[in-house]
Amino acid sequence: MKIHILRAGYCTAPEHIAIQGGAWRHIHFPAMFALLEHPRFGAMLFDTGYSYRFFDETRAFPNRLYRWMTPVTLREQDLAINQLSTFNLQPRDISHIFISHFHADHIAALADFDRARFVHLPHAYEHIRFARGLEAVSKAYLPDLLPGDFDECSASVDLSKPRALPPEYAPFTIGYDLLGDESLIAVELPGHATGQMGIFARGENDQTFFFVADAAWLKRAVVQNLPPHKIANLLFADGQAYRETLSNLHSYHLNHPNVHLVPSHCEETISALSSRSV
């Protein structure tokens, strides 16, 4: 499977919120998405990054709070659909989109892909499905970002078919074989958002990618096992679970320094892995 690390827009926030001991300056948090070119299933995406719908949906209160918290920059050429055209792909060529979680910066472009099957952990969706207004925005969820036919187009991961993972995945012991060929193994990464899904993806030349979404905002946080500022707990579904997940990522990374562990918003990691210069 060919794997391309891309980004669609970025927001800015103070580094010291993202990691304990971080600087007071604002840094860029790119909204990463990945293009996965599978020999049998064709082109697929992991998340989508921002789209202009984010601005439409955050024009009025209470959603405007979201824009204030994370000011977003997005250029026309950054849109997922425009970047895919450089790979000679049309939106209808995307067969699956794997949704790590339903925060706006991960799902804003779903509606551009009308032939894709949306794959997610069931409780991630159930947690936000009926949330509206202030309740929704407090979950970093903007309901109108989801396509109207989302329910018909989505396929939640079947939790009744867990897979015991071999020891090389330790400390992760349970996963879900998303396509049935072991090319994509999902694991739950609880804490940041309910039902957050991380994915191990097998690339070419024996390279493994581990997409960890927002389980850590910076790779440095995983390497040093350093959580964000305590105030960030207000944003998380479960602060205690977040710490446990971060510790698990830390020990996994110590055992597998050659696996490309990719936090969705880590500029350093995404720049290093990006197949295009920004």
Does residue 267 belong to the site contacting Zn ion (CB under 5 A)? no
Does residue 214 belong to the site contacting Zn ion (CB under 5 A)? yes
C-alpha dist (Å) from residue 260 to 56, 212, 237, 256: 34, 10, 26, 9
Q: Shortest gap between Cβ of 193 and Zn ion (angstroms)?
A: 5
Query: How many angstroms separate the CA atoms of 84 and 90, rounded?
Result: 7
Beta bridge partners of 199: 186, 211
Does residue 139 belong to the site contacting Zn ion (CB under 5 A)? no
Q: Which is nearer to Zn ion, 48 or 183 (CB)?
A: 48
Scanning 98-106, 153-161, 236-244, 253-261 for contacts with Zn ion by CB under 5 A, the matching segment is 98-106
Q: Which is nearer to Zn ion, 157 or 216 (CB)?
A: 216
Q: Which is nearer to Zn ion, 103 or 253 (CB)?
A: 103
Looking at residue 250, its amino acid is: H
Q: Shortest gap between Cβ of 100 and Zn ion (angstroms)?
A: 8
Q: Shortest gap between Cβ of 152 and Zn ion (angstroms)?
A: 25
Question: Which residues in 51-173 belong to E strands, given as ranges?
Answer: 72-73, 94-98, 117-120, 154-156, 163-164
Q: Shortest gap between Cβ of 199 and Zn ion (angstroms)?
A: 15
Query: How many angstroms separate the CA atoms of 222 and 252, rounded?
Result: 9
Scanning 84-92, 149-157, 209-217, 248-256 for contacts with Zn ion by CB under 5 A, the matching segment is 209-217
Cβ atoms of 83 and 136 closer than 8 Å: no
Q: Shortest gap between Cβ of 146 and Zn ion (angstroms)?
A: 16
Sign of the dihedral through C-alpha 207, 211, 212, 217 = positive
User: Which residue in the set 7, 38, 53, 103 belongs to the binding site for Zn ion (CB under 5 A)?
Assistant: 103
- The CB-nearest residue to Zn ion is 103
Sign of the dihedral through C-alpha 15, 45, 122, 219 = negative
Summarize as ranges the residues that interact with Zn ion (CB under 5 A). 103, 214
